[in-house]
Amino acid sequence: MDSQNTSGQLDDQAQPALSNTDFFWALSLAERKQGLPDDFTGSNANTENTNTELADYWLSRQPFQAEPSRFLQRLESDGLDLQGFNFITAESRHDLSQRLRQRPKWLDDLKTAFSQDHNQVKLPPVSPSGVISGDLLVLIKPLMQQGLAQLRAKLERLMLQQDKQVLDLTSCCDQLFEELFSRLAMICGRTLVMELQIARVEQTLQGDSPKQRFKDFIARLADNNVRSALLRDYPVMARLVVETVQRWQETSLELFERLFADWPALEQTFNHGRDLGQVCKVKTTLGDSHRGGRSVAMLEFSSGVKLVYKPRSVAVEAAFGQLLTWCNQQGFSAPFKPLLIHESKTHGWVEFAQQQSCQDKAALNRFYRRQGGLLALLYTLEANDFHYENLIACGEQPVLVDLETLFHPWLGQESTAEGGEIPAVALKRTVLATGLLPRRIWTQRGENAGVDLSGFSDVQDQQTPTPVLDIEHAGTDQMQFIRKVISFSGADNMPTLKGEAVKAQDYSADIIAGFSELFSLLISCRDDLLAPTGPLNAFDATEVRVIFRETRVYASFLMESLHPDFMGNALERDIFFDQLWIASKQIEYLTPLIRSEHASLRQMDIPLFTTRPGSKDVVTDSGEILKDFFPVSGMARVRKKIESLDSTELTRQCWVIRSSLLSADLSNRSASHSHITLAEKAQAATARELLDGARELAARIGELAFRSGGGANWFTWKAVGNSHWDLEPMMPTLYDGIAGVTLFLAYLGQLDDNDAHNELAREALHSARYIWRHHANEIQDIGMFNGWGGLIYLLCHLGCLWQDEALFDEAETLVTHIREGLAQDTNQDIVGGAAGAIIALLGLYRFRAKPEILALAEACGRHLQQRAHNTGTGLAWVLEAAGTEPLAGMSHGVAGIAWAMFALSRVSKDRSFADTASQALLYERSLYCEQTGNWPDLRQGKRPETSVHEEGHYYMTGWCHGAPGIGLARLATFPYFKDGQLQEEIQAALKTTLANGFEDNHSLCHGSLGNLDLLLQGGKILDRPELTEQARKLAKQILSGKQSGGWVSGYMYNLETPGFMVGLAGMGYQLLRAACPERIPSVLSLEFPAVDAILAECSSSQ
């Protein structure tokens, strides 16, 4: 960067440099295949002397290193074999240019731009794109000048053909140039900043300050010799710049050609036949770039009319507008106002939707009722991707502004042959798939930083889900790119009340009412809707988009592909784009699409795939048709869905809507558990009353079940980050997964002799089985409630209930997962760790008395011995998730672990396990507080408000922490170990539980029905029938009390869940326990089935 030549032309020495063979390095692998000698595309090619460094690097990348056959697939997609690939990657620049000979058009344009004088072309002032100013782009100033001059000339010729002056050419070109500048700044920015850093490190810049040295760098970029050298060093960047300018010209000219051709029709459609006036504002790139740089644009006219131009058919928008009108005609109580539309075959014009405020609360109620109605339509039409940018709050009218993603075809099997559903697939069968309802995107950064980009949500001040590129020290020689999380600015999707922000969560009743009304309207008018002349038929031949990967994934690929490392050789950029092949290992249908994705990304477009609702074909953005790509068309899916709409489906979807809206607001509320009110003391509940209560809960669980292909699953709540909750399909586990629901339904089916309960239980098992067989890596723990132990427990129970020996065989196959996971166990407890695995293995050992099962249980015991801490008062275990102090209690503490070790000692006849357990009891006993009659909850962090604070500690009264769980653990220990203190501890636990254990929710984990189990177990083990009677009296009070407040879950905020330990299934199971305690084992004590009792008739108890 020494020679200075700043004239408009390159000097004689610089000009030839632009025809240098270096620029052929900008060709991709697919392009270099052109003209390849025939003997290098077959097995006879001679590759003995090839340089394999680049080829070896390419093959060492994922996924090709692990699957070389996939690399051959990748080559085949470009029409290559391995011999041809080796030849191309070993080819020199000179040999490549000689072989191809014909210079690409973009290279001619590059040479022309730098060989002519463009000083008379003044570039308009532009706002910095981010912080990349016009100064840095002086490198490519001749290209920008040439492009602007050519566009002006073409627009001038176009305007001469018009009857009147409708365009201020200078103003229009200036506005269009702003968009071009932004694109070019993105392409060149990182490379130029890196060159600045190199110059600073090499100390070649002149100046006494960082700003002066930056100015010197800019001056050097204006030198034609420097320009020539940099463009040769980065031929990929040079090509991208030239082609971006070309496409900008073409798409800008196309926009105005179409505008002038449609002008009379636009005046009729959008301005009542009156003159539109002059175009006074044009803004392009309002959406993603597709099909050669085309994107949505907005034009404003001097008449005040604003139009949105879409460079594609808008037939789908027109058909949707007709559907909205049809809904109005059928009597929807909050009529929609469809946007005005003008259709052309290749493009279309749509009325601009302007954000406006609602003037009163009644208007807001109507807005959200319409939101619910739109949600029902989008759900029915298999829509997705309706995020915050695709919705405008236009007064009391919510307006959808991009309807490309209706009739989305199924991208895989809706259900497997086995009838199980992949959890991610389950989401696609709910209203969540539309993208309108709150749902957070999470990253792997380990921070509480999920982001909700849904149509119903306010993105204001939310942070980007991943760090984005930004610049620091702009305008100095210390300028550099960094990555940081930034905040979103507000969008137009949120309604306001006289300018004040509102939240969708506060209008959930209106949303659900609108959803229910329109959903019911679709059911009642189903025949008209599906008729050949019905509004659905208008969609059949429209063009809709298929989203195979999220747009943000493609956008990330584009941005990262502009790194300087990929600007010197297009093959390096190809290698980067080949990461698209990684996902194809798991998602095979992506494979035939990758070649098209490559081609689009190479030219700076977001890949676009389309279909027609009535077709099973997919069309790439180059026009290639992939025949019968989908198993069924989007229209067939929609028609099938409409035919299946019923009140049960409405109930399920309303639950999802209510839950999703609630989840979005949880982080803004103070954590709280719901309390319950016991009815006045009463007579003991009868078995029939208890069974009726269980049936009621089972009916609700049935309503919430998603059933398909012989499988069934539910949604439950998952805590993510530190303050957010998300809805997720259940995993197979016992605590809050499918296993717990299955267990309840199976026992109810046995007692009730009800085929419906048994059928749903078997369907649930089908889904659980599919997940643990095909997604075993999703189950990380080995314990009883969150891990593999609970699945063994379930299968043993079902094996007895259904008298099916094959289920015990299947339970035995799951033992290997405990064996493989033991070394990684850091939980150690009953819930997720080795103690729970011990109980599961000992239970299975009763049915399959194989030495290896007992040996694994003993290995779990030694694992616990090795990890025990000597506290000075006894042994205990520290759990990573709980803090630094060893815990007391059943779920995560000493009580549960000691009980498991006592049981293991008895079966294995190894006294050391009992000695460990005895030492552990010493620690837990040292924690007992006489004043509270309880053991402290020593977890670190936030406490639920159900905790009582005494003597510097928190105390809970639940199965998980506190007296009830410890009492159950001591009762379970009773057969293996007795001392005088054990009886005293049980009595203390009973007293404290009766005094404090029936004020909170109804859950098993930390609620009243779980605490009931201490009385039921105490009555049985201690032979104290009065405790059983007391349990039934309390059960009667619970049943009576819930009449006013309903069933209250164990989750914060009373989030309804079908799950076992905190939800409906556990409540129902415990009512069965109270009805038939001698026949229904205690899950809270992890009892295995008593076979004879289960198979006995229960009619006398009913």
Instruction: State the SS3 of 33-99.
Output: CCCCCHHHCCCCCCCCCCCCHHHHHHHHCCCCCCCHHHHHHHHHHCCCCHHHHHHHHHCCHHHHHHH
Which of 948, 964, 997 corresponds to the end of one domain? 997
Instruction: Residue 98: count other Cβ atoms within 10 Å of its Cβ.
Output: 12
Burial state string for 565-587 with b = 16 or more CB within 10 A and e = fewer than 16: bbbbbbbbbbbbbbebbbbbeee
Mean per-residue pLDDT for 222-240?
94
Can you name the residues that pair with 544 across neighbouring β-strands?
611
Q: What is the CA radius of gyration of the chain?
A: 35
Which amino acid appears at position 1027 of this protein? Answer: L
Structure tokens given for 223: 């030198």
Annotated binding site: 960, 1005-1006
- Quick one: 264 and 149 in the same domain? yes
Whether residue 114 contacts residue 15, with contact meaning beta carbons closer than 8 Å, is answered with yes
- Which of the pair, 677 or 21, is modelled with greater confidence? 21
* CA–CA dist 1005, 1012 (Å, integer): 11
For residues 516 and 645, state if they share a domain.
yes
Q: Where on the phi/psi map is residue 753: left (φ > 0), alpha (ψ -120 to 50), or beta? A: left
Whether 90 and 162 share a structural domain:
yes
Same domain, yes or no: 68 and 207? yes
Same domain, residue pair 187 and 322: no
Name every residue whose Cβ is closer than 8 Å to that of residue 124 and which is 6 or more positions away in sequence.
173, 174, 177, 178
Q: What is the three-class DSSP state of 1017?
A: helix
Instruction: Give mean pLDDT, residues 1052-1079.
Output: 94
User: pLDDT band at 444, cuts 50/70/90?
Assistant: low
Question: Domain end: 953, 968, 997, which one?
Answer: 997
Find where tokens 């020539």 sit: 228
Q: What is the edge-to-edge ordering of all strands in the sheet holding 609-611?
A: 544-545, 609-611, 618-620, 625-626
Residue 307 falls within a domain, yes or no? no
* 543 assigned to some structural domain: yes
What does DSSP assign to residue 934? Answer: B
In angstroms, the CA 995 to CA 992 distance is: 5
In sequence order, the 6+-apart residues with CB closer than 8 A to the CB of 199 are 1, 205, 217, 220, 477
Domain annotation covers residue 54: yes
**Is residue 716 situated within a structural domain?**
no
Q: Is residue 795 a part of any domain in this protein? A: no
**For 841-875, how does the pLDDT look when each residue is reduced to its tens digit (9 = 90+)?**
999 999 999 999 999 999 999 999 999 999 999 99
Domain boundary among 597, 631, 665: 665
Sole residue written with tokens 């309503």: 703
With cut-offs at 50, 70 and 90, classify the pLDDT of residue 440.
confident
| Residue 821 lies inside a defined structural domain of this protein | no
What are the DSSP calls for 1042-1067, one per residue? HHHH----SSGGG-----SSSSHHHH
Three-state secondary-structure class, residue 275: coil
Q: What residues make up the domain containing 897?
A: 870-997
| Cβ-based burial of 258 (10 A; exposed 0-12, middle 13-18, buried ≥19) | middle
Judged against a pLDDT cut of 60, whether residue 1093 lies above it is answered with no
247 shares its domain with 392: no
Give yes or no: residues 259 and 322 share one domain: no
248 pLDDT exceeds 90?
Answer: yes
Write out the binding residues for Zn(2+). Answer: 960, 1005-1006
Residue 140: what pLDDT? 95
No. of H helices and E strands in the chain? 37, 25
If pLDDT is split at 50, 70 and 90, which confidence band does 656 have? very high
Identify whether residues 264 and 321 lie together within a single domain: no
- Indicate whether 57 and 124 sit together in one domain: yes
Q: Output the CA–CA distances (angstroms, integers) from residue 931 to 28, 494, 880, 926, 928, in the order listed.
A: 78, 54, 30, 14, 9
Helix (H, G, I), strand (E, B) or coil at 150: helix
pLDDT above 80 for 195? yes
**pLDDT tens digits along 910-940:** 999 999 999 999 999 999 999 999 999 998 8
Say whether pLDDT at 944 is over 60: no
Strand partners, 299: 282, 307
* Confidence band of 207 (pLDDT split at 50, 70, 90): very high
b/e code 871-888 from CB counts within 10 Å (16+ = b): beebbbbbbeebeebbbb
What average pLDDT does the chain have?
90
DSSP tag of 962: B
Band of the pLDDT at 460, cuts 50, 70, 90? confident
pLDDT score for 45: 41
Determine what percent of the chain falls in helix, strand and coil, rounding each to the nearest 5.
Answer: 50, 10, 40
Three-state secondary structure along 565-594?
HHCCCHHHHHHHHHHHHCHHHCCHHHHHHH
- The Cα 1073–Cα 1064 span in angstroms is 14
Cβ atoms of 429 and 708 within 8 Å: the answer is yes
Q: Is residue 578 part of a domain?
A: no
Q: Mapping DSSP to helix (H, G, I), strand (E, B) and coil, where does residue 494 land?
A: coil
Looking at the structure, do residues 261 and 369 belong to the same domain, yes or no?
no
Q: The dihedral of CA 942, 948, 952, 953: what is its sign?
A: negative
Structure-block tokens of residue 930: 């006489």
User: How far from chain centre, in Å, is Cα 392?
Assistant: 23
β-pairing, 440-441 with 544-545?
Answer: unpaired
Name the pLDDT band for 439 (thresholds 50, 70, 90): confident
Q: Is the pLDDT of residue 133 over 90?
A: no
969: closest CA among 913, 1022, 900, 1028? 900
- Among 339-343, 793-797, 805-809, 1039-1043, name the one with the lowest average pLDDT: 1039-1043
> Prior bond to 63 cis, omega within 30?
yes
For the beta carbon of residue 551, count every other beta carbon within 10 angstroms: 14
> Could you give phi then psi for residue 844, rounded to 5 degrees?
-65, -35
Question: CA dist 929 to 869, 890, 917, Å?
Answer: 22, 17, 21
Token pair, residue 635, equals 């229209």
Question: Which of 684, 660, 410 is CA-nearest to residue 515?
Answer: 660
Tell me the pTM.
0.89
Mean pLDDT to the nearest integer, 50-74? 88
Say if CB 618 and CB 611 are below 8 A apart: yes
Confidence of residue 1050 (pLDDT cuts 50, 70, 90): confident
Report how far apart, in Å, the C-alpha atoms of 782 and of each of 395, 851, 1035, 1081 are. 54, 20, 33, 22
Which are the contacts of 1028, defined by CB distance < 8 A and separation ≥ 6?
1015, 1016, 1019, 1020, 1077
Rounded Cα distance between 657 and 534, Å, is 28
CA separation for the pair 966, 985 (Å, rounded) = 8
Question: For the chain, what is the domain count?
Answer: 3
Cβ 255 vs Cβ 46: under 8 Å? no
CATH of the domain at 395: 1.10.1070
Measured between alpha carbons, how far is 992 from 990 in angstroms, rounded to an integer?
A: 6
Does one domain contain both 397 and 318?
yes
- Both structure tokens of 347: 């493009």
Segment 578-607 shows an average pLDDT of 95
Tell me if 511 sits within 8 A of 455, measured CB to CB.
Answer: no
Q: Does residue 914 lie within any of the structural domains? A: yes
Cα-Cα end-to-end distance for the chain: 95
- Report residue 428's pLDDT band, with 50, 70 and 90 as the boundaries: confident
Per-residue pLDDT at 882:
77
Torsion of CA 1054, 1058, 1062, 1065, to 10 degrees: 130
Question: Are 224 and 326 part of one and the same domain?
Answer: no
Q: What is the pLDDT of residues 1001-1034, one digit of tens each?
A: 999 999 999 999 999 999 999 999 999 999 999 9
Q: What is the pLDDT of residues 677-699, one digit of tens each?
A: 776 777 999 999 999 999 999 99
Tokens of 682: 């009463």
Structure tokens that stand for 509 in this block: 């009743």
